[in-house]
Structure formats: C-alpha cells, structure tokens
Chain A
Amino acid sequence: MKKLEIGTKESIYIFILSLLYLVYGVLQFYNGLVGWMPYLGENLQIGVPVLGTYIPFAFPSIFSGLALFTVGALLLKGVYMRHQGDEKYCGYVFVGWAMAMLLMALNILVIIADILDTYYPLVWGETIEEGWSLAGDAWGIAPHLILGLLLTPFYTRMKDILRELSPMKYRISLSKKEVREWK
C-alpha cells in the first residue's frame, strides 16, 4: 500500500477539525442527555443563527455525539501519531476521514428525506399546510455536514487506500462471450 502523505500544514488543519469534532460531539451528547432529563439544563448551541435555527445545528442525540467525538478522537490520534513519527497514523486519519464522509452523506440524505416527507402528500392530491424549512428539519445543517465538507479535500490523499479496497480486475481465461455461453 502506498503511504498516506500528510504535510505539517495539513496536519494542523486536521488537528483543528478534530477539536471541532470533539467539541460538537460533547455538545450533542449533552443536548441528548438534556432531551431525556430536562432538569440537567438547557439545550446549547454554538452555531451561527440563520433562518430560525443554527448552523451548524447540534441536534440532541447521545449517539450522534459519540459518533462525532469518535471521529474527533481518531483524527486527533492520527495527527498525534504522525507527530511522534509513527507510521500507523495514516490508518487513524483514513478511518476518521471515512467516518466523517459517511456522517456528511447521512446528513445530506436526512435533509432530502425530510423534504420528501414534507411534500409526498402532493402525490395523493393533498395540500401542504406547512412546507419544509431548515428550522423544522430533524437534523438541519449539522456539524456532520459542515465539518465533513471541510474534510472533503483530503479525498485526493485517500485515493490510494480506496483504490486498494475496491475489487480488482483479474482475468483468468474466459472472455465475456464465453461466460455468457456458459451461463
């Protein structure tokens, strides 16, 4: 496998993002706890107020908080190991990055699903009383999406690992025609 090369500036950038993942992870975890036990305190947000909501919006979820925290921990450990000169750092950065991409994709899919859920009654000829809004969305633009986007440029660095994971072409003896005939 080719080595995953990350420069000093890039590792500083990942370090900052890992801290943001950790912060938002803790925040979501806290909001999740508050959702179950309101006497613990109030829902907290540290995003920018936009259209009646926050960007990013730390929706209350204990497990989502754990997922963000885990991504942050993976990236942080990766950066730390790189700093220590440990070659294994690329595994931590790769898995952290891959999980961040999955969380970002999930956030996008949730928004699309929410929009569909709002407007599907039109198919049955019903009217929509209240349309979709960012403020009413279950997840909204969550840290998953924003922080994931900020990590997207690292795709170029991850390509080698991704390529190695994809099934490889290896022909033995049969042509496609022969396979068709056999079938």
Chain B
Amino acid sequence: MKIRVALAGNPNVGKSVVFNNLTGGHQHIGNWPGKTIDKAEGTLNYKGNEIYIIDLPGTYSLTAYSVEELIARDYIIQEKPDVVVNIVDASNLERNLYLTLQLSELGANIIIALNKMDLAKKENAKIEVKKLEKILGIPIIPMVAPRKEGMKELTDAIIKYAENPVKREIRYDEKIEKYIDEVRRIIEGKIEGLNPRWAAIKILENDEEIKKKIGKDLLSRCEEVRENMKNEVGDPEVALADARYELIKEICKDVLIKEKKVTASDIIDSVLLDKYLGIPIFISILWMIFQFGFMISAPFCDFLGDGFAQVSSALSGITGIRWLDYLLFGDYGVLNGLGMVLSFVPLIILLYFALSLVEDFGYMARAAFLMDRIMRKLGLSGRAIIPMILGLGCNVPAIYATRTIPDEKDRLVAIVTNPLMLCGARLVFFSAIVGAFWGEMGGDVLLSLYLLGVVLTFIVAIILRKTVFKGKASPFILELPPYQMPVPRVCLRKAWERGKLFFTKAGKVILPGILILGILLITSTSFAYTENAEESIAAVIGKALLPLVKPLGWDWRLLVAALFGIVAKEIVLGASALLYGVSEENIAATMASMYTPLQMYSYLVFILIYVPCIVTIGAIKQEAGTKWAVFTVIYEILLAYLVAWLVLGIGHLMGVA
C-alpha cells in the first residue's frame, strides 16, 4: 500500500527529528524555531507499505499571513495526504493544540504524535493521554523522538489510520457555530476541493486566499453573515481565536496536571536575557566560539596545508609536460591553491561544532531574542534575526529562510542585507590572513569583522526601511525552548555534514575557479605559455582595472583575487596563493611583507562586504527578483569601497599600527 503522510506542527516541536527517524534522512535539526522552511520529502518502507513522508514548515496556525503557513495548509488542502501527523510538544500542550484544532477544522485524517514526553515529565506535567484522545477523537502516540521512543507505534498507527481514517468535527460555542453553519450552507457544493466547514471558518476570518475562490454573489452573502456575526460577537477573527483558546482551556483543565515550578531554564534565562549583561554575554560567547574554532584548528589546518605542499612537491614533474606540471603542481599551481582552501576544513568543522553546541543548548533563540530588542528599537523586524544568524554559516539557506517573514518589505530588507553577514566561505580567507598579521589578536580581528558585518546590516536595513521600504516593522513571536545539554555526537555529525558540503563545493566550484585562474596566470596575452605572472592575462586584466582601486592601495593581485571571489568566496584564498606563488604557510607572511596590517584590514573589510557569491546572487534573484539582485550587487560594491576607504583613512588618522 502507498501512503502519503504530512508532518505538521509548531516550530521546534521536533518535526525534523521525527522526519529523520522515519526516513533516515539528515535534515538539519536545531533547538530553535524555524528550521524547516520548505517541504522536505522522504520515504519509508515498512511492513510492505511504501510510506511517502513530507515535513511541512513549522507553523503556529493555518492562516494566510506567512509563506510557511501557506505552504503547510496548501499542501494539506491540495495534496490531501492520507494521514497528517500532528507533532505536539507535550511540554507545551496548550499552545500546540491551537494548530491541532485548525487541522481538525480542515477535515484532515490526523494522528497526534505527542513528542517531548520526557520534557513534560521533567516539568512535572502529567498528561492523561487516553482522556485527551477521547475528547479530541484523534489517536495519540506519546513519544520521545530523539531516542526513537514511540516511533514504531507511530508507524503502525500511520498504516492503521491510513486504511481506516478517523475524522471528527470539533465544535465550538453555539454562538459561533451558528454563523459557521450559515456560511457553510451558502458555499456547500460550490467550492471544489475544500472542506466546506473549514472554508466557512476561513471566510468568517476574512481569509483573502479563500475569498478569492468564491464568486462575488456568494461572497456578498457570506459578508452579510460575517457582518451579523461581527455585530453579535465582535471581530469574527478574534472571536474564532477566542473560541479555540476557550476550548483548549477546557480540554487542558481535564487532561493536564501541571505543577508550576521554577526550572533551571527559568533561572538561566533571567541572566542570559539580562537587560545589561545579556549583550556582553552574547559577545563573550561568540568570542569563545571563534577562539575555539580558530585557535584549536590551527595545528590541524597547518598539518593539512603542509600535507598538500608535500604531495605537490612529490608529484612535481610527474606529467612530463612543463606547462601542465607548472599549472598543476607549481608554486602558482592548482594543487597549491586548492590545498590551501581544503586545509581549512578542520576550522570549518570545529567552528560549526561549537555553533551546534550553542544552538542545541538553546542559546540561539535567546540570541535572537536579545537582538530583537535592539532591532525593534531601530524600527526593524526581529524576524530577520534567524536568517541573520543562519547567514553566519551560509548566505544561501539564510536567504531562503527569509520566507518566514510575513511582511514583504521586512522580507526584502532581510534578503538584500543578508550577504553582509560573514559566512563560512569568507571565514576561510580571513582565518588564513589574521593569524599571520595579528598573531594572538587574530581572533579579535576576526570577531571585529563579524561585528562589522552585523553593524552594517543594521545600518543598511535602517536606511532602506526609512527610504525605499517605508513602513512599520511586523511583530515577532519567538518561542524560547528550554535549555538542554547538547549531545556532542550529534553536534559533531552536524559539523561533519558542513565539512562534507565544503568538500563538495571544493570539487564543483572552487577547483574549476582556481583552474581557470591558473590558466590565465600561465598564459601570456599572445596566448603563449609563461612562468612570469606579470606577463599573464590575469596580470593584464588586473593592471587594467587597478586605477579603480588605487585609493585602497592594492596591487593587481589583490584585485584579481577579489574578482575571482565573486564565483565563491573561498577562492579568494586559493587565488591569492596562486597569484603570489606561495604556499599556505607563506601566503600571509608574503602579504605581510607587502602590506601594513591596516591596509590588509581594509582589504578584509572589502572582501566582507563586496558582491555576494554567484549562488547567493541566484538565491536573491529567486526570492526577490532580478531588480533586487542587481540592487544588492551594486550597493554592496559601493558600500565595500566606501567602508574599506574609510577604514584606511580613519586608521591612518588614529595612528593604528
């Protein structure tokens, strides 16, 4: 039997864990809301059944106010899955049942997976599962997804209820029900593919998406009913929400016994979200993460870098063709450039390991909360925080994550400013340079670049919000999950996944990029082989464009490295190695002999800000359109130039060494 299952639930209830348990997938899981932005798909073969599973984005309700809610509800309405597994957080039953009621209104064949039973017990909450099952008329499977407990029962229940669907209508107060019935009678049989009761509720809630689906005549009759309801019970949308909450309150009174006590999470939150100490703690934690990644990975990065140099020298001369040998294994060779980029895999893994530890502990949501305070004061939406934090890893998923921002203006601001966040790709180049230029202060320099990225994001966002995207920022609801000790094994796996991605990117993007640069470096303008980089095509291009960056004090090599960085930011490092003809351990020393720390800092600032990589530009185009992709590229080049020039000028004035 083929069964189609949709996983639905509030953000951070463990949908991704359940999905991974069922499908054996490796969807990124984090202890903070908003992880699943799009639909993730997978299959499970169990007892001769082929179960197709889709993980819908986490939503608190099924209105049409945000993209994720629309994705979730459209899937259930249009695709009509055989079973909807509603994952409910047992430690937060009241809030989670709101979505359950809405799913029930939709007429879906629901099974409740009552997850986080361990957490509920820890919080001294006792849920009478059988009683809840009876009241709701929905089968309930208690579970602890991270330990795979309850998964077998859930899979069995999916098969059982796919064959014998259970659909039960949940009714609200009679005052409300009479209007729902009235609208239902008007539209029944006249709207195809929609559950009439649900459509009636949505029309009363003034849902534009549903209203579009009915004719003008019907709509005016429904509006009449809506008006009557408004006169009797007030705003129908508010009245319906109240009715749901009232029902939830009644249900919980019967099935939930909860002892209110102060938890460890409560006392830690009172400190980490402290009005004055919250931000210094946040910066200190960030500093520890970067020191951990930067300092601890150093011997491993150096070891790998040396390894590539050894391999390069061992292979030198193996092809017997001088130009090919020079291109592949020479000082300006591809292996040298690629090796230098790959030698930073330990840094990437360690850094993401540390970030995963902090994320799984539950601190990222707090960081978002802390930053939201500042952002709201600046007139920005706190919802942009999650994409910003994701941008520290890679701007591409971060830009897709902006789909969770319901307000279009807020979303566009978040998209065009996201590339200012220092991503993992730029980190590779920065890490190689800061150690040689600033020694033990390298970690500080690195963090200063991260903070500069954040500050610039705010500044650009404020300017855009006051000019191009005038209007009020939308409110932000963020759930703070309880703190929990992270599992190092799980964090290591996440970090390893990130490392693997880096390897893949090295093969698909970085290697071809470096190869092209290598060819340009060994080819003269008369298309003859040359070992003199100054005569190469790359040098000619660089020198021709050099007047443009004269105020920044670069040579043509830095310019060409930056140009190639547009393909992928990691290439800046490999390209530098090729252009200066030195190995990993000497690149920074070579640069240090040519540039002052201030000049180099100004260059790093330029690389931080200028043009997003090609994949990011593609993501912006997809999410916001060509106009905004072009806008982002242009404003970032101008901003990078301006800030790099200012850093140089102000640094000179301040006498920075």
Question: Which residues from chain A sit less than 8 Å from chain B, CB to CB?
Answer: 1, 32, 35-39, 59-64, 66-67, 69-71, 73-74, 77, 88, 90-92, 94-95, 99, 102-103, 106, 109-110, 113-114, 116-117, 120-121, 123-124, 138-139, 161-162, 164-174, 178-179, 181-183
Most buried by B among A90, A164, A165, A183: A165
Q: Which residues 478-507 of B sit at the A interface, judged by CB distance below 8 A?
A: 483-485, 487
Question: Which residues from chain B sit less than 8 Å from chain A, CB to CB?
Answer: 117-118, 121-122, 142-144, 146, 148-153, 155, 261-264, 266-268, 270-272, 277, 280-281, 283-285, 287-288, 291-292, 295-299, 302-303, 306-307, 310, 438-441, 443-444, 447, 483-485, 487, 654-657
Q: Is the CB of A168 within 8 A of B118?
A: yes
Bound-state Cα–Cα, A69 to B279, Å: 13
B148 to chain A, nearest CB (A): 5
Bound-state Cα–Cα, A156 to B485, Å: 18
Q: Is the CB of A117 within 8 A of B299?
A: yes
Q: Is the CB of A74 within 8 A of B271?
A: yes
Partner of A174, one of B150, B271, B291: B150
Total A-B pairs, Cβ < 8 A: 164
Which residues from chain A contact B288 at a C-beta distance below 8 Å?
67, 102-103, 106
A166 to chain B, nearest CB (A): 5
Not counting A60-B440, A88-B267, A168-B118, a sample of 20 additional A-B residue pairs whose C-beta atoms are within 8 angstroms of each other reads A1-B263, A37-B654, A37-B655, A39-B655, A64-B291, A64-B444, A70-B281, A73-B280, A74-B281, A91-B268, A95-B271, A113-B297, A114-B295, A124-B307, A124-B310, A138-B440, A165-B484, A166-B485, A167-B484, A182-B155
B51 to chain A, nearest CB (A): 13
Chain A's closest residue to B150 (CB) is A172
A81 to chain B, nearest CB (A): 10
Q: Is the CB of B150 within 8 A of A168?
A: no
A131 to chain B, nearest CB (A): 14
Q: Is the CB of A173 within 8 A of B150?
A: yes
Supply 6 A–B pairs (Cβ within 8 Å), ascending by A: A66-B283, A94-B271, A106-B291, A113-B296, A165-B483, A170-B118
Chain A's closest residue to B362 (CB) is A165
With A67-B284, A91-B267, A161-B264 known to touch, is A120 a contact of B487 (CB < 8 Å)? Answer: no
Bound-state Cα–Cα, A173 to B152, Å: 10
Bound-state Cα–Cα, A167 to B121, Å: 11
Chain A's closest residue to B598 (CB) is A36
Partner of B298, one of A32, A64, A117: A117
Bound-state Cα–Cα, A173 to B291, Å: 44
Bound-state Cα–Cα, A63 to B438, Å: 14
Q: Is the CB of B306 within 8 A of A164?
A: no
Q: Is the CB of B292 within 8 A of A172?
A: no
Q: Is the CB of B117 within 8 A of A170?
A: yes
